[in-house]
Amino acid sequence: PPPPSPPVTLSKINGTVGQWEKGALNTPADVSTVQRLLRTAAQKLNDPSLDPKGIDGKIARVAANSKTVSAIQAFQTRSALEVTELIEPASETWTKLLAAAGETTP
């Protein structure tokens, strides 16, 4: 019989990603995950405003200069979510972002 396929690893974040001023932790691993999901969602939904313009694990200290924060804001607006400019683990924004990127939570 063929070997079992490896389990699909769902993306996860351990802390909040987004605006520093609002208390986001923005660990490089979490930021990279969010950037990758936003980029995938931008391609699937054909919406360039969701693309963080790179996956570097960093959020600019000034939110107005952060393409990632702008992409989070655009995603929340598009998804009819409260615009907090933050993505928290297990939040509605996180769940919708996973779904938009083609990853579903069990």
Residues 92-101: pLDDT tens digits? Answer: 999 999 999 9
**How much is the pTM?**
0.89
Question: Which CA distances in Å does 48 have to 27, 29, 53, 70, 71?
Answer: 24, 23, 9, 11, 9
Over its C-alpha atoms, the chain yields an Rg (Å, rounded) of: 14
Rounded-to-integer distance, Cα 85 and Cα 24, Å = 10
Q: For residue 94, which of 16, 5, 3, 7 has the smallest C-alpha distance?
A: 16
Rounded-to-integer distance, Cα 2 and Cα 33, Å = 31
Residues 24-56: pLDDT tens digits? Answer: 999 999 999 999 999 999 999 999 999 999 999
**Which pLDDT value is given to residue 62?**
87
